[in-house]
Amino acid sequence: MKQYIDEADKVLMQTYKRYQVVLDHGKGMFLYDVKGKEYLDFTAGIAVFALGYNNEQYNEALKNQVDTLLHTSNYFYSIPPIEAAKKLAKMSGMDRVFFTNSGTEAIEGAIKLARKYHYNKTGKAGGEIISMIHSFHGRSMGALSITGTKKYREAFEPLIGGVRFAEFNNLDSVKDSINDNTCAVIMEPIQGEGGIYPASEEFIKGVRKLCDDKGILLIFDEIQCGMGRTGSMFSYQSYGVKPDIITSAKALGCGVPVGAFAATEDVARAFEPGDHGTTYGGNPFATKAVSKVLDIFETSNILDNVNKMGLYLWHKLDDLKKRYRIITDHRGKGLMQGLEFSVPVNDIIAKALENGLILISAGTHVIRFVPPLILEEKHVDAMIEILTRCLDKFEK
């Protein structure tokens, strides 16, 4: 294990504070390192592995696609992206889909589409975007520009202009940020990296009405909170609102790098040939993964399990909050929940890892719980047992 880590530290750029573990394989809810140690995974590759590890149906579909066709370029049609786009459009309520290689690229495409729509409507370039304070949308220059946390942005400025930041769950703050050149409002229905903060129903419906009244597009970033994680296929569906553009990734491919942005027919028409493109995005292999994931979601009743287990996890985490003084808040929805602590959580997460439990943070004081969506009660109980032992040591 140490040899692999030493070799990695010599050849890989030091952009991550990696845990000192070399993972080798996974099965269901569990990961295993190169020494064979078992870890209960409540991270799912940062909300990616919705179906758990080594799902046989998923693996078989991808193996078959490897033997058929991996890549053609987007100068040609192929069957997997057509099937995947039809299913994603149906499940999201959108009309047209563009497949990307990542969530960040999906955000980039959504920004471009919103600005092109504004340009077509007004004849003026430079449409402004309102994003939320403490939001996280990615690390490329465009996505970074609308990420509402200064520490991620400041070393890379100047970024793209025309971005204003409003306060999440404060409708007046959004109203005050709008001007005649505003083209879109973008938000995560549940802020992930920002600390697991769900939008209030009043706020999200208020922003939708505000956008309608002002002729502004509403973009929902569903990269982490979408794909069933909060109990509906996309988080906005539980609020009874519909955006103009959505972005998706992470669990969309369940391990295969793929993202997408989708839009209503009226908005999607703003793009013409040459306005946007990608070499790898939407290739047959990646979209076969999307298509199979969406099939399994339906046949395996994933959403029913999320709603059932989300409630079970909520009660168990709430019990922890009542028991330990260092836990100051509990929030979230479905299988996207967080515990906020009065102390930094890195040491707690490290101790959990030593004891065979994988957790991640959302900021310095929040432990984020985003397990695979195949979670069972026995897995929650095992996680609580390990975390309790760790917290006992920190509370003393």
**How confident is the prediction along the chain (396 residues), in pLDDT tens digits per residue?**
999 999 999 999 999 989 999 999 999 999 999 999 999 999 999 999 999 999 999 999 999 999 999 999 999 999 999 999 999 999 999 999 999 999 999 999 999 999 999 999 999 999 999 999 999 999 999 999 999 999 999 999 999 999 999 999 999 999 999 999 999 999 999 999 999 999 999 999 999 999 999 999 999 999 999 999 999 999 999 999 999 999 999 999 999 999 999 999 999 999 999 999 999 999 999 999 999 999 999 999 999 999 999 999 999 999 999 999 999 999 999 999 999 999 999 999 999 999 999 999 999 999 999 999 999 999 999 999 999 999 998 876
Whole-number Å distance between alpha carbons of 343 and 355? 20
> For the chain, what's the residue count?
396
Cβ count near 28 (within 10 Å): 16
Extended strands (E) in 188-306: 190-191, 197-198, 217-221, 245-248, 259-263
* Cα 244 to Cα 127: distance, rounded to the nearest angstrom: 16
Model-level pTM?
0.96
* Number of Cα atoms under 13 Å in the Cβ half of residue 391: 21
Cβ–Cβ under 8 Å, residues 153 and 117: no
Longest dimension (CA), the chain: 64
Which domains does the chain show, CATH number per domain?
2-54+301-395 (3.90.1150.10), 57-299 (3.40.640.10)
Query: Measured in whole angstroms, how far is the alpha carbon of residue 76 from the centre of its chain?
Result: 30
Here the tokens at position 353 are 């890892």
Distance CA 152, CA 41 (A): 27
Amino acid at 179: N
- Beta carbons within 10 angstroms of residue 147's beta carbon: 25
What DSSP line would sit under 317-332, residue for residue? Answer: HHHHHHH-TTEEEEEE
Q: Are strands 38-41 and 327-333 parallel, antiparallel or unpaired?
A: unpaired
Please, are residues 263 and 60 in contact by the beta-carbon 8 Å criterion? no
CA dihedral for 348, 354, 356, 361, sign (positive or negative): positive
Q: What pLDDT sits at residue 317? A: 98
Composition of the chain by helix, strand, coil, percent to 5: 45, 20, 40
Nearest to 247 by CA among 230, 231, 255, 235: 235
Peptide bond into 198 cis (omega under 30): no
65, 80 contact by CB (below 8 A): yes
How far, in whole angstroms, is CA 88 from its chain's centroid? 16
